Amino acid sequence: MIRARRARIVATLGPASRDLDKVRELALAGADVFRVNFSHGTHADHARTIQNVRKAEQAVGRPIAVLADLQGPKLRLGRFAERSAPLKAGQRFRIDMDKTPGDSERVGVPHPEVFAAIREGAVVLLDDGKVRLRVVKHGPDWADTVVEAGEQLSDHKGLNLPGSAIPIPALTEKDRKDLAFALQEGVDWVALSFVQRASDMAELRQIVAGRAGVLAKIEKPAALNALDEILDLSEAVMVARGDLGVELAPEEVPVAQKQLIRAARMRGIPVIVATQMLESMIHSPTPTRAEASDVAGAVYEGADAVMLSAETAAGDYPLEAVSIMDRIITRVEQDPRWSELMRAQHEVGDADALVSAAFHAAETASAACVAAFTLTGQTALRLGRERPVQPTLALTPRLATARRLALAWGVEARVVADIRDPEDIPKLACHEAMAAGLAGPAQRILILAGLPMGAPGAANILRLAHTPRR
């Protein structure tokens, strides 16, 4: 099953969509990667979900990736005596380490890291920014604030300190258990939430040890200040606009999105734009025009993938959400100006020289597709960075590599036998290109490979071949 588009769709699975029939329908509708959100559900739930994805993969006839999204540290309030408490703008309100249930004057915050990061004049956001406090005085385990906005708080609402790097590890004990389980289940990507510094990704990489791709979710403004170092240790990145938008001013989020997409494209790593893309479709069969424009904007910017969250996990119309997202992407990529906007703008290093040559040769030779033989997926990713109009056919002996490439822009991956004789390369490439529907009889295809075959390393062979005339 070949998709008539280059940008990919990530769909979150949940109660509305994790049954086998639903997963199969979503895959047939165009979902390329399925996200499993470890903030909700049990390991037993997730095991069944992952098994259903693997079964659906057989039905669609192409590799599908599973993305395990770790919850990360969640800073939350304690409880209130009456489960909630009213607030008024201008009143004093204290947060502290006292476990006594709160009221309209104070509430407990069971996170000493918060008080280590708090400073006088700092803003404290509660309940996704619905309540805004300003710190006027603080101590080692308390802070007195003034309510600037908000009318009510209730049990266990989230807490954010915009502009502050909180000294808390990105991997919690729960995350470590979830990560061990996810790797045991053979997931293809692992997303780390609330990354603040490069050391967060370094720790994840060390634990994963190559068993899955590692993805940095950019949800904290602090991460933007260390973006280069974080991306240097990441194999993909997500623009997580929901949490990022809590701590950033609304006008800053689109700028951050463009910055992240540009940085990822320069490095040649996949970038996902996520959160509230088709939010109204949680309860509506059609999106708003603004939402359609939002998805289209991410595609025009060159994002590798766009993501659906609650729309498919818990919404009333998961299939419709994937279908309309597929249609929006396909329509954008039919725009004559779209290919001009996709032109790569990066310096070509030694490792990219032949890949860049393949990109230009494919255009000059009017090739139907570019077939890239790859062990680790790096050759296909480098080619995708060039954003060729022709589809990239990644041929790999590793199923794990093929699945991981489901997230990559414009790449169709297929698992093939591990070949050792270079003379077999053109015949196999032509056969797979025709079988996948990427080339017809007597068409040119460009082949990118490396010798010795079966060894990881940069491509060093560029060859033009012709498919048989039948």
Give me the CATH number covering residue 113: 2.40.33.10
Residue 144 banded pLDDT, cuts 50, 70, 90:
very high
198 and 310, same domain (yes or no): yes
392 and 413, same domain (yes or no): yes
Find the CATH number of the domain harbouring 358.
3.40.1380.20
Q: What is the pLDDT of residue 238?
A: 98
178 and 141, same domain (yes or no): no
283 and 179, same domain (yes or no): yes
Residue ending a domain, choose from 304, 335, 366: 335
Q: What is the pLDDT of residue 351?
A: 61
375 and 458, same domain (yes or no): yes
The catalytic site residues sit at 35, 76, 217, 275
Find the CATH number of the domain harbouring 196.
3.20.20.60
Is pLDDT of 350 > 70?
A: no
Is pLDDT of 344 > 70?
A: no
Is the distance from CB of 418 to CB of 227 less than 8 angstroms?
Answer: no
208 and 314, same domain (yes or no): yes
Whether 129 is in a domain gets the answer yes
Residue 456 banded pLDDT, cuts 50, 70, 90:
low
Q: What is the pLDDT of residue 343?
A: 78
Is pLDDT of 224 > 80?
A: yes
Q: What is the pLDDT of residue 237?
A: 98
Residue ending a domain, choose from 160, 177, 205: 160
Residue 449 banded pLDDT, cuts 50, 70, 90:
confident
Whether 194 is in a domain gets the answer yes
- Per-residue pLDDT tens digits for 227-236: 999 999 999 9
199 and 301, same domain (yes or no): yes
238 and 366, same domain (yes or no): no
The most confident of the ranges 32-41, 246-255, 460-469 is 32-41
Whether 341 is in a domain gets the answer no
Considering its fold, how many domains does the chain have in total? 3
- Per-residue pLDDT tens digits for 187-209: 999 999 999 999 999 999 999 99
Range of the domain at 267: 8-73+169-335
Which positions ≥6 away from 1 have C-beta within 8 Å? 28, 60, 61, 62
Q: What is the pLDDT of residue 340?
A: 87
308 and 200, same domain (yes or no): yes
Whether 51 is in a domain gets the answer yes
369 and 276, same domain (yes or no): no
- Structure-model confidence comparison of residues 383 and 280, the more confident one: 280
Residue ending a domain, choose from 128, 160, 192: 160
Q: What is the pLDDT of residue 346?
A: 60
Which positions ≥6 away from 449 have C-beta within 8 Å? 372, 373, 422, 425, 459, 460, 461, 463
Q: What is the pLDDT of residue 318?
A: 98
Is pLDDT of 63 > 90?
A: yes
Neighbouring C-beta atoms of residue 186, cutoff 10 Å: 14
Whether 2 is in a domain gets the answer no
Whether 187 is in a domain gets the answer yes
Whether 342 is in a domain gets the answer no
Residue 328 banded pLDDT, cuts 50, 70, 90:
very high
Residue 295 banded pLDDT, cuts 50, 70, 90:
very high
Whether 92 is in a domain gets the answer yes
140 and 173, same domain (yes or no): no
- Structure-model confidence comparison of residues 413 and 220, the more confident one: 413
Q: What whole-number percentage of the chain has pLDDT above 70?
A: 96
Q: What is the pLDDT of residue 288?
A: 98
Which positions ≥6 away from 22 have C-beta within 8 Å? 16, 318, 319
323 and 203, same domain (yes or no): yes
Residue 450 banded pLDDT, cuts 50, 70, 90:
confident
Q: What whole-number percentage of the chain has pLDDT above 90?
A: 78
- Structure-model confidence comparison of residues 109 and 2, the more confident one: 109
Q: What is the mean pLDDT of the chain?
A: 92
